[in-house]
A and B are shown apart, each in its own frame.
Chain A
Amino acid sequence: MATIANQKTALLAVKDVCVEFRTRDGMVDVLRQVNFALHPGEILGLVGESGSGKSMTSLAIMGLVPKPGGRVKSGQVLYRGEDLVQASDTRLRQIRGARIAMVFQEPMTALNPIHTIGRQIVETLLLHSAFTKIEARQRSIDLLREVGISSPEQRVDEYPHQLSGGMRQRAMIAMALACEPDILIADEPTTALDVTVQAQIFDLLRDLQQRKGTAILLITHDMGVIAEMCDRVAVMYAGTIVEQGTTAEVLEAPMHPYTRGLINCLPESRLSDADWLAEIPGVVPALSSLGAECAFKERCEFQTAACARSPDLSVALSSVPLMSSVSGDPRPFARLVACHHPLLASPSSVVSAP
């Protein structure tokens, strides 16, 4: 478990971040008031379905929201107290890759196919540190060895296509770790890999986090990965965080009906092999059609009049249920849920035929 720390010592604090995109249907909010903090040495999981805003959150942190078309409308991304939303491009370039590094989903598209692995790591090192070319090359070899690539002296001069998928992802991790960042953002780092290779990559990430104390923001759609990797978890739905807490708390007693639905629809949540899978009725709403009501309202079995609270023009966003600390005092790892009717005791999944 991560060390107990309060909001002030958070390495990264994402505060009320809203991101909007221009589309044919007008401006669409793809992130709506995203709030969370990442503490030194912890692994925080960001889980949600496609389109829920997980990847957009990571892009907003890195100052990589696609332009033109998208922009951070409001909010702050505080890295050691410095607001990255307001930072200049020059300053962002100093931080990106050096202090906050990223591992992407598709190693084949994230690596440059016409440069050797070594050259791509050396580039990062030369950009952010005072190494000479020879030192940087030696350091790349050490990094490749560190992430478990065999015969790194030879691999360093190979091209991405000469490596297997798992090796490429290891090379990407080596590149991300080149400048010993404080924060590693891993966006679905294993979706393109086989399950046995996925397990190896997660072992590697966990090992690095334990040895170097790198804080990891792990983005995934897989609750099993959250369970095995993360200290804490934030569940995203339709562009906002709906629930946050320690992994054990959230998985054992989810408080948001969406989180519970997400857990219950996994085959392993069934009580017996003869049971059907639980389903969440309906579909994820289009972000462009979201009004001021709760985004999960239409699919929720507990909806009441409160969930459709009429919008107030002066504070339009605050009529969306705000994150409220259910566990009382603002503990650093407070249990947060965005729901008018949080589930207090979660009955275990009972599934009937659809």
Chain B
Amino acid sequence: MNQVEQAPFISVDRLKVQFERRVAWGQPRQTVHAVDDVSFTVEKSRTLAIVGESGSGKTTTALSLMRLGPITSGAITMDGQVLSGLKGEALRQFRRHMQMVFQDPYSSLNPRWRVVDIIRAPLDVLGIGTPAERDERVTHLMTEVGLRPDQCDLYPHQFSGGQRQRINIARALAPQPSLVVCDEPVSALDVAVRAQTLNLLKRLQQQFGLTYVFISHDMSVVQYMADTVVVMLMGKIVERADRETFFNSPRHPYSKVLLASVPSIKNAGVRPISRVRVTGEPASPINPLPGCRFASRCPSAEARCHHETPSLIAINPLHEVACHLVPSTL
């Protein structure tokens, strides 16, 4: 960071995504602020984890980054290329550099396609290589993700959930992307299969120098995968820190609650009944009131938290927090 300032591999600058929706017949349309002024950077071959509760905007952010979702305003740059401005064929061609692994290994694979067709699809669509080269690449990828190449004529239903996620990963890697967005890639898997899949993702990252944007609500998974952690709450980033800082000394009250809520095998018999808890319900992302998005649930909220939106302030070069109660030490 404090070496020669080098442009980050991915940079998201003041991204906003808004949706219009009609809550009930006869009522005016309302604006959902799904992502509100989000900025972050990711360095090459590193993993940025986005964590947050459902509705916090983590998936919307990822979809905008992939150019699969709308962008209301803001800029996304990847490897010097302004992604947010790309259109048509140029965008289509750029897609080979960014791929996605989805959450549900069942609905994300076409049940009527053979595995070979599924993994080949990105190569066919993007016109990469000759047909013979594509088949060769499929064989190579299947070995790489721990499937047997002779399984290539089988259909998705003939595989277990963990194996399906491997097919998903192989498909994502087919066009040799540099960015892979993983949206809750292991949340549908059992713990033992989860470990195998996370190790695979990590090994592939090291092998191919992949950059990951990793979306998860599971803190232990994030602790294993992430280099940098971004916490989102109702469309806003409330804390950003490197992994070690985040897990050892989170500063935002929401991050603290989040970490304290995770059940741990280290707490056997401890029964931490009096640990930090939130009460109350999350505020609505539709026409949000001014003020901190966590104020209604925050154990230490003050008067100004309810009408003044805190901005993300660096407390040291690697750690940013958006909270009125965390004094800036810089």
Contacts and interface: CB of A to CB of B under 8 A. Distances in A.
Q: Do A and B bind each other?
A: yes
B221 interface: yes
A265 B195 contact: yes
Contact of B264 (A224, A247, A283): A224
B53 A227 contact: no
Interface residues of B, number: 44
Nearest to B270: A228
B26 interface: no
A228 B221 contact: no
A354 B265 contact: no
B268 A251 contact: yes
Nearest to A50: B190
Nearest to B263: A224
A297 B1 CA distance: 51
Interface stretch (A5-13, A267-275, A302-310): A267-275
Contacts of B223: 267-268, 273
Interface in A161-178: 164, 166-167
Interface string B139-161: 00000000000000000000010
A164 B282 CA distance: 9
Nearest to A258: B192
B257 A269 contact: no
A273 B199 CA distance: 13
A224 B199 contact: no
A261 B203 CA distance: 21
B162 A283 contact: yes
A222 B269 CA distance: 15
B278 interface: yes
A144 to B, nearest CB: 15
A194 B54 contact: yes
A277 B217 contact: no
Contacts of B262: 195, 224
A231 B170 CA distance: 43
Chain B, interface SS category: helix
B192 A228 contact: no
A267 B221 contact: yes
Choose among A167, A225, A265, A276 the residue with the greatest number of B CB atoms under 10 Å from its CB. A265
Contacts of A203: 273, 277
A280 interface: yes
A198 interface: yes
Interface string A198-238: 11101100100000000000000111111111000000000
Contacts of B249: none
B199 A354 contact: yes
A203 B262 CA distance: 13
A280 B192 contact: yes
B138 to A, nearest CB: 22
B220 A267 contact: yes
Interface string B216-229: 01011101100000
B195 A277 contact: yes
Contacts of A251: 265, 268
Choose among A199, A251, A263, A284 the residue with the greatest number of B CB atoms under 10 Å from its CB. A199
B22 interface: no
Contacts of A292: none
Contacts of B243: 273
Given A196-B257, A268-B264, A276 B202 contact: yes
A252 interface: yes
Nearest to B56: A194
A17 to B, nearest CB: 23
B89 interface: no
A273 B225 CA distance: 10
Interface string B18-29: 000000000000
Interface in A238-295: 247-248, 251-252, 261-263, 265-270, 273, 276-280, 283-284
A196 B278 contact: yes
Contacts of A200: 277-279
A158 interface: no
Interface in A64-102: none
Contact of A354 (B203, B217, B269, B278): B203
A252 B266 CA distance: 9
A49 interface: yes
B261 A269 contact: no
B31 interface: no
A273 B270 CA distance: 24
A104 B217 CA distance: 22
B258 A196 contact: yes
A227 B262 CA distance: 11
A262 B270 CA distance: 21
A202 B277 CA distance: 12
A276 B225 CA distance: 10
A12 to B, nearest CB: 23
Interface string B49-81: 000011000000000000000000000000000
A262 B191 contact: yes
A247 B160 contact: no
Interface string B184-215: 00000011111110110011000000000000
A198 B195 contact: no
Contacts of B282: 164
Contacts of A277: 195, 198-199, 224
23 contacts: A194-B53, A196-B277, A198-B261, A199-B260, A200-B279, A203-B277, A223-B265, A224-B263, A224-B264, A224-B265, A224-B267, A227-B263, A227-B265, A227-B266, A265-B194, A266-B265, A267-B198, A267-B221, A268-B220, A268-B265, A280-B195, A283-B162, A284-B190
Given A225-B263, A279-B199, 8 more contacts: A198-B261, A199-B277, A223-B191, A227-B267, A262-B191, A265-B192, A267-B221, A273-B223
Closest 9 CB pairs of A and B: A224-B263, A265-B195, A199-B261, A49-B190, A194-B53, A267-B224, A227-B268, A277-B195, A267-B220
Interface of A: 49-50, 164, 166-167, 194-200, 202-203, 206, 221-229, 247-248, 251-252, 261-263, 265-270, 273, 276-280, 283-284, 353-354
